[in-house]
Structure 1
Amino acid sequence: MQVEDWQMFDEDGNIAVSHMMQEIKQALSNQPLPKVREQLHQKIQELSKKYGEVYDTEVRYRISSRLTAWASEVHDLKSVFGFNSQYWDL
């Protein structure tokens, strides 16, 4: 797994978010989007117990942007449908 810069305060935070995002990316392939969104919110809540900065604006932006791109690719969603990063409600 490749650790990306999610704009967390330290490398441990980036690693934790990277793990979470890999789980969510896998869920995109076999679960409906509302279920994935629910799972995302649960994972963020769990992660925030140790890394409160997961709620930082830049972190949320990076998460929602990446998930939007992945979901659009997996589910072949076009912008015509109005699917955008606001869907994740972060």
Structure 2
Amino acid sequence: MKGDFLSQRNLSYCLQSGCLGLERDRVKACMWRKVIVLSGERHVTDLDTANLDYVCAKLSTAERDAAMRQADALARQIYGPRR
């Protein structure tokens, strides 16, 4: 997972739109978009932040909160504690 920024981006897109045999799951798409932004990767752009806002805005408050908690936990697992 770590160091494979493009795979994370592609996964989030497929979870958002349903591709490569993955069913749409907007909560997980939102979660992965947040992980991407939290990654600190040099390739993260304003487009990634815009995608995060776009996908997560379609969720209920409870879904968005769950996605953010999951993203924080996953980002810590992948990248370690935030500095």
TM tier, shorter chain?
Answer: 0.3 to 0.5
Q: Which structure has the larger Rg over C-alpha atoms?
A: 1
Per the normalisation by structure 2, the TM-score is 0.42
